[in-house]
């Protein structure tokens, strides 16, 4: 708050437990499920840093019901899933609730997602008032209850995201074509183990060697290149990736005989960084952190580019090039649309359509505000530019049934099959 207004401050906040330095040793930190393999690596890093971490995999009606009980009806579905997972887990008896904390990310953007943290706090207050909520953010929010980050830590996280992306991408490109069932899953397990060891022995930064291993390992899985329908998944970050959020969309597509094409998490990270730089460029909003973001952007993009170059030499279709995504963004919307997943959604749709993945599921939580504009709102432009694009928007919601969602996706697939025809 600025000093320009000199009025007294009325404090309506409720006290909440803070995650202290000491708790690092005593508390188990629960992390919601989003990207299973990425999170496996990321939590490994946290453990190395001395945190006790556990990724939650509980799901089912009980999780959703807990969420419904504790979250306002009109709050986004992801908040509901995450809170449901926490409460369900805390009630399971598996954890000592006096020694448990929960973790959530905050982007600090203009959409509601930055408010998940206070919403979680409020939900916990009713039944688990001693459980602290830890914020993972790069915007200077929640200073006293944030995850303390240092450069080395951040660097490790960044590498893990990249490796996670390569593993996810290669797996999705191998699994539908494997000759022997289960081979791709084996390769994935090996890859995750390999990166874990690289983290343990400090060789995680050897990007070329490590990526090389991942590509080789997946490359070694015998495949049969039968033509399959490729289906891109874009949308709000949580329901796009989280099996709990999107009713196991990837599995469903695999079962339908499709190849799911899931854009990389690194693009979302770059998107957040780029938005800070765009603010500086568009509105002159420069601050001390602007050069830091500029550096981070160059560094991350350099790594992405290196991975792409390596992938281009293999049978795998590479990750999207972030600069290409930005170019697409300017063609179909404007990089000023920066709340939520903003311009990234139509940019990814355009990039998918251009790289031959014309069938797209645009996932969104019911009533997602940025998605009105960047999701449903932008589809017409994409369809005009790419007449063969076959996009289906799917709403995810605690009460939207799977039948309803799958029926819609099946409709999209029917058109896809016709196009493949």
Interface positions, 363-382, toward another protein (CB under 8 A):
366-381
Cβ proximity to another protein, 190 vs 406, nearer residue: 406
Q: Which residue has the tokens 């063609």?
A: 331
C-beta of 134: minimal distance to another protein in Å?
16
**C-beta closer to another protein: residue 17 or 367:** 367
Strands 100-106 and 133-137: parallel
Beta bridge partners of 29: 53, 101
Q: Which stretch binds another protein (CB under 8 A): 44-52, 162-170, 178-186, 411-419?
A: 411-419
Residue 244 sits in the site that holds another protein (CB under 8 A): no
- List the structure tokens of 280: 């500086």
Q: Which of 236, 237, 235, 333 has its CA nearest to residue 278?
A: 333
198's tokens = 């690289």
The contact pattern for another protein, residues 30-69, with x = CB under 8 A and - = no contact, is ------------------------------xx------xx
Q: Residues in contact with another protein, total (CB under 8 A)?
A: 89
Compute the distance between CA of residue 298 and CA of residue 277 in angstroms, rounded to an integer: 11
Contacts with 161 (C-beta within 8 Å, 6 or more apart), sequence order:
38, 42, 265, 266, 269
**Smallest separation, CB 346 to another protein (Å):** 9
Residue number, 44 or 326, with CB nearest to another protein: 326
Exposure string of 365-403, with b = 16+ CB inside 10 Å and e = fewer, is bbebebbebbbbebbeebeebbeebbbbbbbbbbebeee
141 near another protein, rule: CB under 8 A? yes
Task: Indicate the SS3 state at residue 52.
Answer: strand
Distance (Å, whole) CA 176 – CA 213: 21
Q: Minimum distance between the CB of residue 79 and another protein, rounded to whole angstroms? A: 9
| 255 in contact with another protein (CB under 8 A) | no
Residue 183 contacts another protein per CB under 8 A: no
Of 106 and 174, nearer to another protein (C-beta) is: 106
Site map 7..36 versus another protein, x via CB under 8 A: xxxxxxxx----------------------
**Identity of the residue, 14 or 208, whose beta carbon is nearer to another protein in the bound complex:** 14
Which residues are CB-contacts of 107 (< 8 A; sequence separation ≥ 6)? 113, 114, 137, 139, 272
Binds another protein (CB under 8 A): choice among 40, 49, 54, 127: 127
Among 244, 337, 344, 362, binds another protein (CB under 8 A): 337
Question: Alpha-carbon Rg of the chain, whole angstroms?
Answer: 21
The distance of closest approach from Cβ of residue 8 to another protein in the complex, given in angstroms and rounded to an integer, is 5
Beta bridge partners of 360: 232, 391
Is 21 strand, coil or helix?
A: coil
User: For residue 144, what are the CA distances in angstroms to 11, 67, 97, 148, 307?
Assistant: 18, 26, 21, 9, 36
CA–CA separation, 164 and 194 (whole Å): 12
The minimum distance between CB 107 and another protein, in angstroms, equals 11
Interacting positions 276-295 with another protein (CB under 8 A):
279, 282-285
Between 178 and 406, name the residue whose CB sits nearer to another protein: 406
Instruction: Say whether residue 410 binds another protein (CB under 8 A).
Output: yes
Question: Of the two residues 232 and 375, which places its CB atom closer to another protein in the complex?
Answer: 375
Q: Is 266 a residue that touches another protein (CB under 8 A)?
A: no
Per CB under 8 A, contacts with another protein among 296-335 are: 333-334
Taking CB under 8 A as the criterion, which residues in 86-125 touch another protein?
Answer: 106, 108, 110-112, 114-115, 117-119, 121-123
CB-count burial class (<10 Å; 0-12, 13-18, 19+) for 124: buried
Distance of closest approach, residue 280 Cβ to another protein, in angstroms: 10
Q: What are the E-state strand segments in 22-96?
A: 28-31, 52-55
Shortest distance, position 224 Cβ to another protein, whole Å: 23
Nearer to another protein, 205 or 369 (CB): 369
Selected from 34, 76, 136, 350, the binder of another protein by CB under 8 A is 76
Instruction: Let me know: does 382 contact 353? Beta carbons within 8 Å.
Output: yes
CA distance linking residue 310 with residue 382, whole number of Å: 30
């Amino acid at each position: 708050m600025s000093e320009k207004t000199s009025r007294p401050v009325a404090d309506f906040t409720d006290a909440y437990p803070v995650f202290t330095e000491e708790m690092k040793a005593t508390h188990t930190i629960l992390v919601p499920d989003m990207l299973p393999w990425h999170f496996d690596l990321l939590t490994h890093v946290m453990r190395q840093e001395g945190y006790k971490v556990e990724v939650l995999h509980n799901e089912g009606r009980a999780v959703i019901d807990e969420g419904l009980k504790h979250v306002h009806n009109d709050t986004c579905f992801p908040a509901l899933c995450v809170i449901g997972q926490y409460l369900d887990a805390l009630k399971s008896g598996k954890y000592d609730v006096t020694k448990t904390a929960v973790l959530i990310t905050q982007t600090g953007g203009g959409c509601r997602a930055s408010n998940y943290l206070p919403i979680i706090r409020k939900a916990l207050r009713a039944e688990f008032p001693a459980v602290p909520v830890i914020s993972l953010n790069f915007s200077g929010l929640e200073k006293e209850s944030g995850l303390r980050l240092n450069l080395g830590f951040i660097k490790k996280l960044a590498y893990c995201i990249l490796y996670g992306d390569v593993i996810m991408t290669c797996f999705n490109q191998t699994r539908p074509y494997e000759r022997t069932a289960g081979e791709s899953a084996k390769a994935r397990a090996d890859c995750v183990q390999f990166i874990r060891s690289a983290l343990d022995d400090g060789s995680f930064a050897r990007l070329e060697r490590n990526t090389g291993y991942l590509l080789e390992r997946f490359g070694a899985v015998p495949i049969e290149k039968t033509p399959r329908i490729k289906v891109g998944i874009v949308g709000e970050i949580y329901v796009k990736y989280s099996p709990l959020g999107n009713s196991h969309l990837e599995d469903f597509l695999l079962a339908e005989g499709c190849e799911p094409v899931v854009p990389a998490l690194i693009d979302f990270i770059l998107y957040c960084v780029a938005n800070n730089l765009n603010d500086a460029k568009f509105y002159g909003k420069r601050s001390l952190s602007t050069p830091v973001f500029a550096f981070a952007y160059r560094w991350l993009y350099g790594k992405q580019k290196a991975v792409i170059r390596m992938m281009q030499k293999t049978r795998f279709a590479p990750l999207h090039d972030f600069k290409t995504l930005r170019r697409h963004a300017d063609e179909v919307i404007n990089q000023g649309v920066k709340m939520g997943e903003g311009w990234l959604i139509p940019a990814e749709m355009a990039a998918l359509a251009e790289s031959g993945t014309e069938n797209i599921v645009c996932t969104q939580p019911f009533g997602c505000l940025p998605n009105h504009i960047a999701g449903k709102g932008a589809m017409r432009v994409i369809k005009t530019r790419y007449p063969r694009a076959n996009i289906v928007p799917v709403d995810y919601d605690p009460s939207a049934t799977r039948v309803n969602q799958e029926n819609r996706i099946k409709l999209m697939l029917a058109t896809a099959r016709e196009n493949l025809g």
